[in-house]
Structure formats: C-alpha cells, structure tokens
C-alpha cells in the first residue's frame, strides 16, 4: 500500500475514523442533543456490523475485480500526468485546496442524485431508514451504494487528476465530517451558527433526516455547507423543532430498521421500493 504523509492510506484513514468515532461517541454520552427512541446497543451492533461488511465487500472487489481505491487511481494519474489539474502548474497547497473543494462539490451532487433517481434511492434509503440519529448513522450505508460511490470517486479522480495527498485529505475529511454531522451531541447554538457558515453541523444535517419529505430534500452537504446555500437546498431548522421532529422514513417507523438482515434486504423489498413516500397528510407540493 502506498505511503501518504509517512503512513499507509489504510492506517491513516482507520486511525482518523477510530479517533473521530470515539470523540463523537463520548460527546453523545456527555451531552446528548436529544434522547434516542430505540435500543442503542442493538442499533450500534447493526450499523457497525454494516461498516465491517462494507469493508469486506470493498476488499474482495479490490482483490478480484480491479483496485477500487481512489488514492491508487490518483497515483496512476500523477505518474501519467492525467487529468484537468495537470494542465496547469499550481503550488501543491493550492492544487490540494482546489481538488478537495471540487471533490466535495461532486459528493454533494452525488447525494442529490441519490434522492432524485429511484434506482439510486433504492440503496440510499437504507441510510435514511435509521430510526435514530447518532454517530453510527454516519457510517450506515448499503454495500451497493458504497461500491457505486467508490466507482464514482475513481471517475472523478480520472477527470480531475488530483494528487494522492489531496484524495486522502478529502477522504479523511469526508469520513470525519460524516460522523461529526450525524453525531447526537449538543453543539452550543452560538457555535453552531458560526460553524455552519462553512461546515455542516449536526443540527443542520439532522433536518435532512426528517420524516417530512421537503426537509429530507434539503441540507445535502456532508462537509462544506456552502453548496446548499449556492444551490438553494439549505433549510435552517426543522418545522417541528429538533426535539419533536421524527427521524427516518414514514414507511418504516418500527424496530425493523435496527436489524442488520432487514437493513441489507431493504433495497430489494418493501412498499417504498420504487419511489420515496410522504408521511400521511403531507401534500405533493
């Protein structure tokens, strides 16, 4: 495995993942934002098991198909001077900054597409089916969606040609901010107002996990909050407030989403299999 900043990419990403996860979990314990409504131990077992399963799937794909790792693609583009960023001679710090911002914009676009195209929504809805909202929700994605996302990032790297360092920084930020903005801890409102001017905060992203469709169709950003403002998908606060809002999907307000087998089977079953649904009483506007 190639070295980045003196460490293998896997060790670097794993170290950051564990570190951020532990800090967020501790903050959730010390100052929770809202009480969880379902068994935390059961949900955590399911969500963490899905993470482990996804890692296994990606490892097997890398062994038996192609090396499906964005940073490996970045090493190839660097060696072959491939991609748009190789057309100009930029200082490394500026190239990294531009690459990270453009990749983050592309992930915003991917997230919007996963809500707008029914075939993508089939798999993304497993993430939204979680009936509570905490740090483990930020890692709860269907393995098919993870594989498609990795392929998408490889294509982005081939087009842009960012340095391996830029790709690793982007991946680390994406994973870290995904856990941060799904964490169930109480960020002081004054701090939240400042931070969300640039980065997505837990209160901002929680709106996206509302049962109300027009709120789900907002706040798509994972790292930078500017894209929601630029593309008019920003929603400041949930209609019913953070304490009274309902998390999840209207069709699955039960214990079912806390089960691992049910969650992995969800894209292939259920009354919401083709299109998204709305809670009773919500109009089609």
pLDDT of residue 71: 84
Per the CB < 8 A criterion, the answer to whether 182 and 202 are in contact is yes
Q: What are the structural domain ranges in the chain?
A: 40-250
pLDDT, tens only, 248-264:
999 999 999 999 999 99
Which of 74, 219, 67, 50 shows the shortest CA–CA distance to 140? 50
Q: Which residue has the tokens 């982005």?
A: 156
User: β-pairing, 3-4 with 7-8?
Assistant: antiparallel
* Separation of alpha carbons 67 and 59, rounded Å: 9
% pLDDT > 70, the chain: 88
Per the CB < 8 A criterion, the answer to whether 185 and 201 are in contact is no
pLDDT of residue 55: 83
List of the chain residues with pLDDT < 50: 1, 65-67, 273-275, 279-281, 283-285
Angle, alpha carbons 191-196-200 (nearest 5°): 120
pLDDT of residue 16: 87
pLDDT of residue 65: 47
pLDDT, tens only, 78-120:
999 999 999 998 999 999 999 999 999 999 999 999 999 999 9
């Amino acid at each position: 495995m190639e070295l980045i900043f003196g460490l293998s990419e896997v060790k670097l990403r794993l170290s950051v993942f564990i570190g951020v996860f532990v800090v967020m979990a501790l903050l959730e314990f010390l100052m929770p934002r809202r009480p969880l409504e379902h068994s935390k131990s059961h949900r955590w077992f399911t969500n963490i098991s899905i993470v482990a399963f996804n890692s296994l799937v990606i490892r097997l794909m890398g062994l038996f198909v192609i090396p499906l790792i964005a940073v490996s693609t970045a090493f190839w583009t660097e060696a072959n001077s491939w991609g748009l960023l190789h057309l100009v001679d930029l200082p490394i710090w500026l190239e990294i900054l531009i690459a990270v911002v453009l990749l983050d914009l592309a992930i915003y676009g991917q997230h919007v597409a996963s809500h707008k195209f029914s075939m993508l929504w089939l798999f993304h809805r497993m993430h939204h089916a979680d009936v509570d909202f905490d740090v483990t929700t930020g890692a709860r994605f269907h393995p098919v969606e993870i594989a498609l996302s990795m392929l998408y990032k490889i294509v982005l790297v081939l087009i842009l040609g960012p340095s391996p360092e830029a790709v690793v920084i982007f991946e680390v930020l994406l994973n870290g901010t995904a856990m941060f903005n799904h964490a169930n801890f109480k960020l002081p409102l004054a701090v939240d107002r400042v931070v969300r001017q640039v980065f997505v905060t837990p209160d901002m992203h929680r709106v996206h996990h509302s049962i109300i469709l027009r709120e789900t169709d907002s706040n798509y950003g994972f790292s930078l909050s500017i894209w929601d403002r630029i593309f008019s998908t920003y929603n400041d606060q949930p209609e019913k407030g953070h304490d009274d809002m309902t998390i999840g999907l209207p069709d699955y307000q039960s214990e079912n989403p806390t089960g691992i087998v049910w969650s992995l089977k969800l894209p292939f079953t259920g009354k919401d299999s083709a299109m998204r649904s709305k809670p009773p009483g919500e109009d089609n506007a």
